[in-house]
């Protein structure tokens, strides 16, 4: 059995080939693309190398709009979704009856096609000629003015956008947080209760430190995910995100690559690299902070 050691490589071969072709080579290539100035997709030629692509992208108002949108989404959705998920998970872990049912319901958005359900949100929030939509009815009921959330003011669109993102990312966070909270050794709670520690203090001094690794994991992946936001925006506002003013950085990359405004893989590559420089920086900052505050 020792003589045919090299048979092992045979088992890895399919995976290695696919990974080389669709993961390693493209990773190198994206940097090459980003440096090729004026690369033409049709003739496959470029006239020089340099940083022009980056400078073009950074001066493109659409890109700046996309960066602004993405940052707003990140700043709003990550803390809100994590916070609400934490509240819900704590609530969920404190009850016995109906717990399974709630857990099942809360998980539903994870298994839905977000492009499809986005349309439901659109229908709920959209103001059309013959109906202001359900949400506006509610706003009117409480004495507010109808707003067009889908084609109206930017802030309104951003509101629906963030609401939908939170709706979509909650299942994952609730699932991880509930399993983290319920795996805390109950003896810690028993000990604290014997000492007469009030519930809030128990949460703050025991639960929170014990689940801090999961919490930071969720915050880090939450940031990364939110920076890569794209298909949820398409779900609500359609494929022409630039004219809706709701484009994201990833959306900008794809628009540069393909579609009516596409055909510029060099700009797309430059934008993608800028995006991941941002993501890496934020992740690095997150990790530094989490090292300081994670208890083990």
What is the nearest approach in angstroms of another protein to the Cβ of residue 54?
15
Cα of first residue to Cα of last residue in the chain, in angstroms, is: 43
Residue 12 binds another protein, judged by CB under 8 A: yes
Site for another protein in 155-184 (CB under 8 A): 165, 167-173, 175-176, 179
What is the nearest approach in angstroms of another protein to the Cβ of residue 175?
5
Q: Which residue, 218, 217, 237, is CA-closest to 66?
A: 237
Residue 133 binds another protein, judged by CB under 8 A: yes
Residue 119 binds another protein, judged by CB under 8 A: yes
Distance from C-alpha of 94 to C-alpha of 89, rounded to nearest angstrom: 9
Residue 42 binds another protein, judged by CB under 8 A: no
The whole-angstrom distance between residue 294's C-alpha and the CA centroid of its chain comes to 23
The CA-based dihedral angle spanning residues 202, 207, 208, 212, taken in that order and rounded to the nearest 10 degrees = 160
Site for another protein in 256-295 (CB under 8 A): 257-258, 265, 268-269, 272-273, 275-276, 279
Three-state secondary-structure class, residue 45: strand
* Phi, psi angles (nearest 5°) of residue 40: -110, 125
Residue 147 binds another protein, judged by CB under 8 A: no
CB 262 within 8 A of CB 113: no
Residue placing its CB nearer to another protein in the complex, 16 or 289: 16
What is the nearest approach in angstroms of another protein to the Cβ of residue 241?
12
Distance from C-alpha of 243 to C-alpha of 175, rounded to nearest angstrom: 37
CB 265 within 8 A of CB 36: no
Distance from C-alpha of 227 to C-alpha of 72, rounded to nearest angstrom: 10
Residue 139 binds another protein, judged by CB under 8 A: no
Select from 64, 75, 134, 155 the one that contacts another protein (CB under 8 A): 134
What is the nearest approach in angstroms of another protein to the Cβ of residue 99?
9
Select from 54, 62, 63, 121 the one that contacts another protein (CB under 8 A): 121
x-marked contacts with another protein along 198-217 as a string, rule CB under 8 A:
-x------------------
Three-state secondary-structure class, residue 40: strand
Number of residues that this document lists for the chain: 296
Site for another protein in 234-253 (CB under 8 A): 234, 238-239, 250, 253
Q: Which stretch binds another protein (CB under 8 A): 47-55, 57-65, 85-93, 151-159?
A: 85-93
Q: Is the dihedral of CA 136, 82, 283, 15 positive or negative?
A: negative
Site for another protein in 87-116 (CB under 8 A): 87-88, 91-92, 94-95, 98, 102-116
Residue 194 binds another protein, judged by CB under 8 A: no
What is the nearest approach in angstroms of another protein to the Cβ of residue 278?
12
Residue placing its CB nearer to another protein in the complex, 62 or 237: 237
What is the nearest approach in angstroms of another protein to the Cβ of residue 187?
22
Looking at the chain, list the stretches that DSSP marks H as alpha helix, in order from N- to C-terminal side.
Answer: 7-19, 25-35, 52-59, 61-93, 99-107, 114-125, 134-141, 154-182, 186-194, 199-202, 208-227, 231-237, 241-244, 249-257, 265-293
Residue placing its CB nearer to another protein in the complex, 11 or 142: 11
């Amino acid at each position: 059995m020792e003589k045919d050691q090299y048979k092992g490589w045979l088992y890895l071969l399919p995976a290695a080939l696919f990974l080389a072709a669709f993961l390693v080579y493209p990773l190198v290539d994206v940097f090459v693309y980003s440096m090729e100035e004026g690369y033409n997709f049709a003739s496959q030629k470029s006239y020089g190398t340099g940083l022009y692509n980056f400078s073009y992208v950074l001066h493109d108002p659409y890109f700046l709009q996309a960066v602004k949108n993405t940052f707003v989404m990140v700043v709003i959705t990550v803390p809100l979704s994590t916070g609400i998920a934490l509240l819900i998970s704590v609530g969920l872990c404190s009850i016995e009856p109906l717990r399974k049912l709630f857990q099942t319901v809360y998980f539903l958005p994870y298994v839905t096609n977000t492009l499809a359900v986005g349309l439901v949100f659109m229908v709920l929030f959209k103001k059309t000629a013959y109906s202001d939509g359900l949400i506006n009815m509610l706003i009117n009921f409480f004495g507010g003015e109808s707003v067009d959330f889908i084609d109206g003011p930017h802030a309104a669109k951003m509101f629906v956008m963030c609401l939908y993102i939170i709706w979509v990312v909650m299942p994952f966070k609730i699932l991880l947080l509930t399993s983290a909270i319920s795996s805390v050794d109950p003896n810690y709670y028993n000990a604290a209760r014997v000492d007469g520690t009030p519930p809030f203090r128990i949460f703050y001094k025991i639960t929170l430190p014990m689940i801090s690794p999961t919490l930071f994991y969720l915050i880090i992946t939450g940031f990364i995910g939110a920076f890569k936001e794209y298909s949820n925006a398409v779900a609500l506002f359609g494929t022409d995100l630039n004219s809706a003013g709701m484009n994201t950085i990833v959306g900008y990359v794809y628009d540069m690559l393909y579609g009516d405004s596409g055909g510029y893989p060099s700009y797309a590559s430059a934008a993608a690299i800028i995006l991941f420089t941002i993501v890496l920086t934020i992740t690095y900052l997150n990790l530094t902070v989490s090292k300081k505050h994670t208890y083990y």
